[in-house]
Amino acid sequence: MDEAHRSGCPINLTLEVLGDRWSLIVIRDIMFGNRRHFRELLQKSDEKIASNILADRLKRLVEKGLLYREDDPSHKQKAIYSLTEMAIELVPLLAEMGAWGRRFLPVSEELAIRAELLEKGGRPLWEDFMQELRVQHLHVAPDPSKPSVFERLTAAYQEVLARKQAAAAE
């Protein structure tokens, strides 16, 4: 179950779980892209993960307690992957990663817009988003008084994408 740890440092332990090139990509796609099936994660991500790597990461993330796997009642072969509370609480970390990447790396506009909104919204927005993720993934009852952060992020992304495509078509 527990392989020996390199040290008890919180940053090190976090790196032991998430410190590779794919684990956070998978979590990002489930969290922000609502990809819940193997094929969706395989085909709809921009980074083109290999199927054996995806299979390995999903298994690892389930073992580490960040995801859980259920059978899809609508299809005997489909599996549904969901975020656990442990993964939902990565929202601040992913928001900071997005903010840093946006500031220092050559991001594309349509993929940076969600990071920008998350950064501008700050911790109150993150908390709203985490609560929505709990509704989506942990079967928590929704709070109808709150507008959906997920929809706001997705709409902003679609808007930039449509504008760039319109500009490219000219």
Partner DNA sequence: ATCAACCGCTTTCATTTTGCAACTGGTTAA
Partner DNA sequence: TTAACCAGTTGCAAAATGAAAGCGGTTGAT
Give yes or no for a contact between 115 and 95, defined as CB atoms under 8 angstroms apart.
yes
75 binds, among its own copies, DNA, none (CB under 5 to 8 A by kind): DNA
- When asked if residue 39 is in the footprint of DNA (CB under 7 A), the reply is yes
Residue in 1, 3, 8, 166 binding its own copies, rule: CB under 8 A: 8
Give yes or no for a contact between 127 and 84, defined as CB atoms under 8 angstroms apart.
no
How far apart (Å, rounded) are the C-alpha atoms in residues 160 and 5? 43
Residue in 5, 75, 163, 164 binding its own copies, rule: CB under 8 A: 5
How far apart (Å, rounded) are the C-alpha atoms in residues 80 and 99? 30
Q: What are phi and psi of 49, to 5 degrees?
A: -70, 145
Q: Which residues, 61 to 80, sit near DNA by CB under 7 A?
A: 69, 74-79
Supply the DSSP symbol for 144.
T
Size of the site for its own copies (CB under 8 A): 45
Which residue ranges make up the site for its own copies (CB under 8 A)? 5-17, 19-21, 24-25, 28, 46-48, 65, 86, 89-90, 92-94, 96-108, 111-112, 115
